[in-house]
Structure 1
């Protein structure tokens, strides 16, 4: 599903990928993007009618249904731990 596009076709994605490279390292991010380009569903981006990478197969995406009912415990602080 990879469509080769110019960076100017996807300016928001380009900026986001640049931020990811700054945070996680150029080679780490580039290797994931290459895997998506080569058909593995690990990277897919879509913006303004352009797309790049390999999307997840239908029905395998992340679903936020019920997220409001999930319990999230705060990280304990030193003061909250009974000794």
Structure 2
């Protein structure tokens, strides 16, 4: 897990919207979307349509990410907490 992924995981202990993450971290869209994609592809985060509705089908974060919510998975929390 690189530094950007670690910093993003810090924000995902609770469900967070894309806009919250962008405001909180102050990152450009390209960095935030790429980092979300990397964490998602490793199974470290899950995507939600709204704070209560998880997406179970494959998500294209580059195209859909701005409209989603995110949350760390158990696997992601374990990886985050062992560093």
Q: Same fold (TM over 0.5)?
A: no
Relative contact order (C-alpha < 8 Å, sep 6+): which is higher?
2
More helix by share: 2
More strand by share: 2
User: What interval of TM-score do these two structures reach, taking the shorter chain for normalisation?
Assistant: 0.3 to 0.5
